[in-house]
Amino acid sequence: MNEADEKKLSIAEAIAEVKKTASAKFDESVEVHFRLDIDPKKSDQQVRGVAEFPHGTGKSVKIAVFTTTAKNEAETAGAELVGGEELVDKIKSSGKIEADVAIATPEMMPRLATIAKILGPKGLMPNPKSQTVTQKIKEAVESLKKGRADFKNDNSGNIHQVIGKVSFDDAKLKENFKVLLEAVRKTKPESVKGKFIKNISVCSTMGKSFQVIF
């Protein structure tokens, strides 16, 4: 172990420290931040993936579904915003959408191009890579409600993802972390040679950050 690694903690130790230093009056989220060795300006080094958290993240997710073929399915599964052409027109005229994630059946994708400037900046444009363009609307909505999360790199080549709440059991946070780490590793672009993940840190919403051995 080199000198830099000596300052890093195991994930179990990091979670314990995060809990110890979380002092806000609300149940803070536990966040994981990955610094990746990618060039985010290159199209072949964009990182995008999905993590199926076994214990959820503790966050309630508001889901929008764009579909003409599976409206009942979407509503029954618990999507808050469901519609086809009329939903697109509503968003187009208002210039806004209140949702945390958007899903679409394939036939809606050409229509969504007309509101891409509204969806895109919010990270809401459905994408086959993140399994948000699908015919299996019921499964997609239920999976998101249970704790599936889409992640992608930001403009600096980092990934930020919540893995739970400070109130979660240590073991659940640890399992969620392992699922996320494995999911991120699988997204390594072919054009990236050598080390993909530079470092990982864990923190609570308002708390101190701790680097993790991985």
- For 15-39, the pLDDT digits (tens) are 999 999 999 999 999 999 999 999 9
Q: How confident is the model at residue 2 (pLDDT cuts 50, 70, 90)?
A: very low
SS3 state of residue 210: strand
Of residues 5 and 129, more confidence is placed in 129
Distance CA 16, CA 170 (A): 7
Enumerate domains of the chain plus CATH numbers: 3-57+148-212 (3.30.190.20), 63-146 (3.40.50.790)
pLDDT in tens, 105-154: 999 999 999 999 999 999 899 999 888 999 999 999 999 999 999 899 99
The token pair at 18 is 């995060």
For the chain, the average pLDDT equals 94
pLDDT reading at 188 higher than 90: yes
Distance CA 120, CA 196 (A): 26
Rounded to 10 deg, the angle between the 11-21 and 170-185 helix axes is: 120
Cα 184-189-190 angle, rounded to 5 deg: 135
Dihedral (Cα; 89, 95, 59, 84), 10-degree rounding:
10
Strand partners, 148: 52
Please say whether the dihedral angle defined by the alpha carbons of residues 12, 18, 21 and 24, taken in this order, is positive or negative.
Answer: negative
Please say whether the dihedral angle defined by the alpha carbons of residues 54, 55, 58 and 61, taken in this order, is positive or negative.
Answer: positive
Q: What is the pTM of this model?
A: 0.80
pLDDT the model gives residue 6 = 59
Distance CA 14, CA 11 (A): 5
Of residues 194 and 15, more confidence is placed in 15
Distance CA 57, CA 93 (A): 33
Residue 18, CA atoms < 13 Å, CB-side half-sphere: 33
% of the chain with per-residue pLDDT over 90:
90
Distance CA 118, CA 65 (A): 15
Q: How confident is the model at residue 81 (pLDDT cuts 50, 70, 90)?
A: very high
